[in-house]
Chains A and B, each alone.
Chain A
Amino acid sequence: MKGWDWLATIGGWLLALLWVLPLAYAVWTAFHPSAYETHFNLLAPLTLENFPAAWVQAPFARYFLNTVVLVTVILAVQLVLGTFAAFAFARLKFPGKQVIFLLVLLQLMVMPDVLLVENYQTIRILGLVDSIVGIGLPYMASAFFIFLLRQTFMTIPTELDDAARIEGASLLTLIRRVYVPLAKPTYIAFGLISVSAHWNNYVWPLIITNSVNARPLTVGLSIFSAIDSGVHWSIINAATLMTSAPLLIGFLLFQRQFVQSFMRAGIK
């Protein structure tokens, strides 16, 4: 068994190396003059000039703003809708509850990419093509979040409901002051998943946007790196680092809290 352990360790390192290689290459080129793009030399001079160069060549400020607004709006609506839906499924009695919950779960089994065309038609009918709301709308009712939060809500003892109700708490007060605070780890865990998923989402925003006004970072970046072949790798990679930096830094800083939240929310 000892020999196998050794092999597994080697394999693990190899995979890690493979995984980090593109990032390492991006960092290497971003901090060196373009002359060193394919010419690896440890003594190559370092430079920060690629970043301002990338920043002025495309409207990255606008892309950043679009992405931040997009991610915030999606998360906010997801949390509000999810909270009410999860509470209803966990605690309220209403006709058709089982069937409706099954329909929600059904959404979990459909790959979002299958719906690209259908979603585009819907958004076009609504007149929301090329808008931030248009990008976010298909994601605003998250079946995953509703399911996750319902499971958390169902672990809260109903005696707490009774105790709050006899004191005169309305349903809204009950949700706001008892259920939401007790499900905090679930909210944090899902918030992370949602933010990272929509910060990185590419295909759908690419299809539904056609102007700088709505384009998020991912789409902006791909257009920036494709429009003319004259763009240098060092500048493209500087832009890539720039756009993924906020997420990367955030995750590194709060790694521990994130993992704890995931453990408590039961996502592994």
Chain B
Amino acid sequence: MECYYPARMNDAALPASDTASPQGQRPAPGISLRGLAKTFAAQTAVQDVSAEIAAGELTVLLGPSGCGKSTLLRMIAGFEAPTAGEIYLAEAPIAALPPSRRDIAMVFQSYALFPHLTVAENITFGLSVRRTGKAETADRLDRVARLMGLETLLQRKPAQLSGGQQQRVALARAVISERPVCLMDEPLSNLDAKLRAEMRVEIRALQRRLGLTMVYVTHDQVEAMTMADRIVLMNAGRVEQAGTPEQIYAEPATTFAARFIGSPPMNLVPAEALGLPGAAVAGLRPEDIHIAAEGVPARIVSAEYLGADLLVTLAIGAAQVILRQPARTGLPAGPEVRLAWVPDALRLFDATTGHAIGRSPAV
């Protein structure tokens, strides 16, 4: 399968406007969520979520498991009816429509391939349900199979495919519908790490090439950072922060966002530990701290060697921080060191609410 990647990568490298929707007919609409809520019998899964999903962009719904991101996606798809709020697709309310009339395609976490049908029958299932003509079906199948590199697998059953191939069939089924909006529910969670990295690139390239509006659910912040045009970070049924990956990384709106994004995450320590006034929580990214001649005294606890980088864990009084530095810089001989940081990189959060202080939450 590897041989397909270079070709598709080159396609993806072209400006999106040149190759956007070779299927060509309809421009992708945006989705607007306004005051969405979903309450199940026992608990509230989603409360008062408002977000804009821009046309032709890849928006990632990111959050820990149980944060309501999958419920939100299922509401957009139409599998769950919202308890409150409305969903607009290109300004038209769709919350009352059944899934099939929303003009939305979806790729499921388990791929949801029909085990008794061949790859070709799986891909064309929707077309045959909607009674598309034979000639047109064959034509579209041919095009999509070539796009996804599935030409040689069309007569196989799903059980005879590898995880990556199954994933590609699931994508093909979404693409062949020629629906301009595509929802993805943790599509890579069943793949191994190497394949996941490859599929990440492939899905992103496909989305750009077809100009799809894509909503992508994941709990993996690396996936979100590498793929997203915009991230909607969710926690406990609410939107914690929405913005570009750069915005969320640089300006986390809350301590939750600071902890969730980045590996290792932002260091959060009481401000007084860094010798700062006030009762706030101070946040510093590991790469923004360095060992210096002057600064806050600290003691080296341990060091983790990552090849290019070295992650050093330090104790400042009772607080611990992690520092990232190039591995070849080396460590001083003794455990007692002094720390300094890039002044611009320091973020302050309210100790009780966890909200960022002194900056408007980046949205």
Contacts and interface: CB of A to CB of B under 8 A. Distances in A.
Interface of A: 157, 159-160, 162-169, 173, 177-178, 181-182, 184
B129 A164 contact: yes
A152 to B, nearest CB: 13
B100 A168 contact: yes
Interface string B110-150: 10101110000000011001100000000000000000000
A167 B129 contact: yes
B129 A160 contact: no
Q: Is the interface of A mostly helix, strand, loop or mixed?
A: helix
Contacts of B115: 182
Contacts of A163: 106, 108, 112, 114, 173
Q: Closest 10 A-B residue pairs measured CB to CB?
A: A167-B126, A168-B100, A163-B112, A159-B112, A166-B99, A181-B116, A159-B108, A169-B129, A165-B99, A166-B106
B342 to A, nearest CB: 47
Given A167-B177, A168-B130, A160 B100 contact: no
Interface of B: 77-79, 98-101, 104-106, 108-110, 112, 114-116, 125-126, 129-130, 173, 177
Given A159-B108, A163-B108, A168-B130, 8 more contacts: A163-B173, A164-B129, A166-B99, A166-B100, A167-B177, A168-B129, A173-B129, A182-B115
A184 B116 CA distance: 10
A165 B129 CA distance: 10
A181 B116 CA distance: 7
B77 A178 contact: no
A159 B177 contact: no
B120 to A, nearest CB: 15
B125 A164 contact: yes
B81 to A, nearest CB: 13
Contacts of A165: 79, 98-100
Contacts of B79: 162, 165
Nearest to A165: B99
A39 B42 CA distance: 80
B169 to A, nearest CB: 12
B77 A166 contact: yes
Contacts of B101: 168
8 contacts: A157-B110, A160-B112, A162-B77, A165-B79, A165-B100, A168-B129, A177-B129, A181-B116
